[in-house]
Amino acid sequence: MIVEITEEQRKKLTEDSKGFIPAHLYYECGNGWYEIIRTVGAYAGRHLNGWKEVKGIQERLKASGRYNEKYHGWTAEYFTQNPIDPSIETVAIQIKEKFGGLRIYYYCSDPYIDGLIDMAEAFSFRTCEQCGKAGERRSYGEYTYVSCNDHLMERSIAPVVSDT
């Protein structure tokens, strides 16, 4: 039986992610991956809000007439390195288990968030979906999952040999 993410944890994920993970999102994975999801959300939220903060600094400096390219040129460089379109809301649209690993789908492409999600997916293949302890990919018939030895399904074949 999968222990699902609790309502309290859902609220914390939305708060920590500064809106990257919306409150209404339904999680199709176990509680063991909560810390992985929380970490992705927190870093994605900081990244997206950092862009807005830098844009605000730049606009306030320009509006006050104090913007100087020599001293404030770092803001233009920041936007070159972090090309986010703030008019497009960047939010997670689905978080689930698929083929034994964590999948986080989101709207709007961003290289930094892509990297966070790739890292999270890789960690999930070594983390028990039930409890968060170190785990291995296993199979139960056609079903592939990740578990520690405490959460093996009956008649599982462990571990699954893979190149991930």
Dump pLDDT digits (tens) for 48-72. Answer: 888 778 888 888 888 988 888 777 7
Q: Which one of 51-55, 60-64, 95-99, 153-157 scores highest in mean pLDDT?
A: 95-99
Distance CA 55, CA 86 (A): 10
The answer to whether residue 164 scores a pLDDT higher than 70 is no
User: How many Cβ atoms from other residues are within 10 Å of residue 137's Cβ?
Assistant: 20
Q: Which residues contact 61 (CB under 8 A, 6 or more apart)?
A: 67, 72, 75
Helix axes 111-124, 34-64, angle to 10 degrees: 170
Which pLDDT band holds residue 107 (cuts at 50, 70, 90)?
confident
**Percent of the chain whose predicted confidence (pLDDT) is above 70:** 88
Torsion angle of the four alpha carbons 10, 15, 21, 26, in this order, in degrees rounded to the nearest 10: 20
Q: Which residues contact 112 (CB under 8 A, 6 or more apart)?
A: 44, 47, 82
The answer to whether residue 158 scores a pLDDT higher than 60 is no
User: What's the whole-model pTM score?
Assistant: 0.79
The answer to whether residue 86 scores a pLDDT higher than 70 is no
Q: Point out the least confidently predicted range of 79-88, 104-113, 136-145, 151-160.
A: 151-160
The answer to whether residue 155 scores a pLDDT higher than 50 is no
**Percent of the chain whose predicted confidence (pLDDT) is above 90:** 43
